[in-house]
């Protein structure tokens, strides 16, 4: 097996009106959903709303994101329902280190023996079990089992396994190490550029004009929106099903369609809406100073 890591992902999608000392919750995070093939070697193995992606290769698999609740068992069942073996997973990674996307990492690491490879800026977040988070660090409901990170990546680094190459794009703001991944997949003789995007949503209680534990948040969000608007992609996926309208585009039992999630215009429009929300909140915060 050749695993090559060269020098070389959301709470905000469901963050409704929550008390500021509480972690966001959503029943759809633990609601089961049948696994299915998205395109090429990319499969959905997540819950109804929390995205978990299995990327299969001849030399083992990559798993992006977990979830909450009995997520490890649910993911194992989904992987097996697709005809794959969870133990063949060689690399675990995540779009960002909030509990709803990484709470199952420690158990999945034990189950698979896979290496955990995450953004350098979110390493402390995973290894502290959420305690290092700038917003939810003092929120018990946002804690999870700490997990040892084996390797980290930075912006533009790549993760390679079995002929599949993921490029990491550092898109901070939602967390300090929030990451989107891009890869090319082949389907019916056509090449598709896929993004698994960590969208720039803003959690309740976050001050985008600057926070004591994240003084650079203003600039980070601004850079993320600019970078995402400049991305050239075909297939749009994200950290939450609701963010890329999975349930409007796909119903269980639908015939496979490689163009189902081709939506570059929808991706750009979503980024622009989130940027507008950010700018309006920033203006309100500055007006109060």
* Rounded distance between C-alpha atoms, residue 140 and residue 125, angstroms: 14
At 289 the pLDDT is 77
List the one residue out of 130, 59, 131, 51 whose CA is nearest residue 94: 51
* Rounded distance between C-alpha atoms, residue 219 and residue 209, angstroms: 9
Kindly state the tokens that stand for 88: 């063949």
Contact between residue 95 and residue 64 where contact means Cβ atoms under 8 Å apart: yes
* Rounded distance between C-alpha atoms, residue 163 and residue 185, angstroms: 11
Q: Beta-carbon neighbour count of residue 30 at 10 Å?
A: 18
At 229 the pLDDT is 98
Q: How far is CA 44 from CA 2, 53, 65, 124, 193, in A?
A: 24, 5, 11, 27, 17
Spell out the per-residue pLDDT of the chain, length 289, in tens: 434 333 333 344 433 334 455 667 789 999 999 999 999 999 999 999 999 999 999 999 999 999 887 889 999 999 999 999 999 999 999 999 999 999 999 999 999 999 999 999 999 999 999 999 999 999 999 999 999 999 999 999 999 999 999 999 999 999 999 999 999 999 999 999 999 999 999 999 999 999 999 999 999 999 999 999 999 999 999 999 999 999 999 999 999 999 999 999 999 999 999 999 999 999 999 999 7
Token pair 């990484």: residue: 102
* R_g of the chain computed on alpha carbons: 18
| SS (HEC) of the chain | CCEEEECCCCCHHHCCCCCCCCCCCCHHHCCCCCCEEEECCEEECCCCCECCEEEEECCEEEEECCCCCCHHHHHHHHHHHCCCCHHHEEEEECCCCCHHHHCCHHHHHHHHCCEEEEEHHHHHHHHCCCCCCCCCCCCHHHCCCCCCCCEEECCCCEEEECCEEEEEEECCCCCCCCEEEEEEEEECCEEEEEEEECCCCCCCCCCCCCECCECCHHHHHHHHHHHHHCCCCCEEEECEHHHHCHHHHCCCCCCCCCCCCECHHHHHHHHHHHHHHHHHHHHHHHHCC
Token pair 């193995």: residue: 45
Kindly state the tokens that stand for 76: 């194992």
* Rounded distance between C-alpha atoms, residue 281 and residue 275, angstroms: 10
**Neighbouring residues of 16: CB distance < 8 A, sequence distance ≥ 6:** 24, 26
């Amino acid at each position: 097996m050749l695993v090559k890591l060269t020098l070389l992902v959301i709470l905000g999608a469901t963050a409704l009106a929550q008390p500021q000392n509480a972690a966001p919750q959503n029943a759809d995070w633990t609601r089961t959903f049948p696994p299915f093939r998205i395109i090429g070697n990319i499969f959905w193995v997540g819950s109804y709303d929390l995205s978990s992606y299995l990327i299969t290769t001849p030399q083992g698999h990559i798993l992006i994101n977990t979830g909450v609740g009995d997520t490890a068992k649910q993911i194992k069942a989904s992987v097996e329902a697709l005809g794959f073996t969870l133990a063949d997973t060689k690399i675990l990674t995540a779009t960002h280190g909030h509990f709803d996307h990484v709470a199952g990492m420690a158990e999945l690491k034990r189950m698979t023996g896979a290496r955990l490879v995450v953004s350098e800026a979110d390493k402390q977040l995973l290894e502290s079990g959420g305690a290092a988070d700038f917003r939810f660090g003092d929120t018990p409901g946002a804690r999870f089992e700490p997990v040892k990170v084996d390797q980290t990546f930075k912006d533009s680094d790549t993760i390679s396994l079995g002929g599949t190459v993921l490029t990491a794009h550092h898109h901070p703001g939602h967390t300090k190490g929030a990451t989107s991944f891009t890869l090319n997949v082949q389907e019916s003789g056509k090449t598709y550029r896929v993004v698994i995007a960590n969208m720039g949503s803003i959690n309740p209680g976050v001050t985008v004009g600057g926070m004591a534990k994240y003084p650079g948040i203003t600039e980070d969000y601004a850079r993320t929106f600019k970078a995402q608007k400049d991305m050239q992609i075909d297939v749009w996926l994200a950290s939450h099903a609701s963010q890329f309208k999975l349930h409007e585009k796909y119903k269980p039992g639908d015939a496979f369609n490689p163009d189902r999630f081709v939506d570059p215009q929808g991706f750009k429009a979503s980024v622009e809406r989130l940027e507008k929300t950010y700018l309006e909140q920033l203006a309100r915060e500055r007006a109060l100073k």
